[in-house]
Amino acid sequence: MIKANDIEETDAERFDAAIERDAKGGKFDALAEEALAAHRAGQSLDLLNPGSIAAAST
């Protein structure tokens, strides 16, 4: 008998494998470069510093 937990684990394993394949295939390279360019331009927030988020929203 298949249990719901078994299905969830299988789905998670497939998802992880797909993300790893896509990452190795370069599918995220453009997105990563866009994010890094925005960060270099000062368009990112320090998520570890809650004060920076509050200051940005005012």
Is 13 part of a structural domain of the chain? Answer: no
Residue 54 has what pLDDT? 64
Is 56 part of a structural domain of the chain? Answer: yes
| pLDDT tens digits along 2-58 | 677 777 889 999 999 999 999 999 999 999 999 999 999 999 988 888 777 666 766
d(C-alpha 26, C-alpha 32), whole Å:
10
Residue 53 has what pLDDT? 67
User: What pTM was computed for the model?
Assistant: 0.59
d(C-alpha 8, C-alpha 25), whole Å:
26
First to last CA, the chain: 55
Is 36 part of a structural domain of the chain? Answer: yes
Is 11 part of a structural domain of the chain? Answer: no
Residue 3 has what pLDDT? 77
Tokens of 43: 């368009």
